[in-house]
């Protein structure tokens, strides 16, 4: 039997892993559950991702890309003539309202790094990249503090189910940013 050429299979497996984590949490993630969700043979998942950790790394990396796209779409964030706290509060609001499930999955994968050291560099990469971007508008220490504050605000909203309060976020971000 000839092997079917399927250049998108690896990406479909990653997309399926994101859906599995969204539906069942990390505990529900296995090569078998992802293969079923992606509608591919089990051997395909183990061919592309030898271990579950490899699959989790690729899945977290893709989840991080979603946030990076949201940041990149907000060109005003880097504009020197804009208020940084207002732009950041708007960014967080956009991120939390666009697809909250995606945000929940990203944080679930991010926090999985506490128990899975292989995820730590990928989890750190997103925060560092965001802090580096913000450091163009402020100093590096303040940029890191803003990222930590944004993480805290997002986690509070996700964990409590409370609506996002953009005005509160703008105020506390302005305090940290010194504006």
Sign of the CA dihedral 22, 28, 30, 33?
negative
Q: What is the per-residue pLDDT across 12-61, written as a single tens digit (0 to 9) for each?
A: 999 999 999 999 999 999 999 999 999 999 999 999 999 999 999 999 99
The pLDDT value given to residue 26: 93
* Domain 60-177, CATH: 1.10.357.10
**Does domain 1-50 fall into CATH 2.60.40.1120?**
no
Question: In sequence order, what DSSP letters do the residues of 48-65 get, joined into one string?
Answer: H-SSHHHHHHHHHHHHHH
How far CA 28 is from CA of 14, 33, 98, 131, in Å, comes to 14, 7, 25, 32
Q: Decide if pLDDT at 170 tops 80.
A: yes
> In the chain, what are the domain boundaries?
1-50, 60-177
The pLDDT value given to residue 1: 42
Check for a shared fold between 1-50 and 60-177. no
Q: What residues contact 68, with CB distance under 8 A and at least 6 apart?
A: 126, 129
The pLDDT value given to residue 140: 96
The pLDDT value given to residue 67: 82
- 150 or 102: which leads in pLDDT: 150
Residue 44: count other Cβ atoms within 10 Å of its Cβ. Answer: 19
3-state SS class at 42: helix
Burial (0-12, 13-18, 19+ Cβ within 10 Å), 142: middle
What is the C-alpha R_g of the chain? 18
């Amino acid at each position: 039997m000839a092997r079917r050429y399927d250049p998108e299979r690896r990406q479909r497996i990653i997309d399926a892993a994101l859906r599995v984590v969204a539906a069942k949490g990390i505990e529900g993630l296995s090569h078998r559950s992802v293969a079923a969700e992606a509608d591919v043979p089990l051997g395909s998942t183990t061919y592309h991702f030898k271990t579950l950790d490899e699959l989790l790394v690729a899945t977290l990396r893709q989840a991080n890309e979603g946030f990076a796209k949201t940041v990149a779409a907000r060109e005003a964030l880097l504009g020197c003539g804009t208020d940084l706290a207002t732009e950041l509060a708007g960014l967080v609001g956009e991120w939390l309202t666009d697809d909250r499930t995606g945000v929940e999955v990203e944080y679930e994968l991010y926090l999985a790094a506490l128990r899975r050291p292989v995820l730590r560099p990928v989890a750190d990469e997103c925060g560092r990249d965001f802090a580096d971007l913000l450091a163009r508008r402020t100093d590096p220490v303040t940029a890191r503090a803003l990222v930590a504050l944004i993480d805290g605000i997002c986690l509070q909203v996700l964990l409590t189910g409370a609506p996002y309060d953009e005005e509160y976020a703008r105020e506390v971000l302005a305090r940290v940013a010194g504006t």
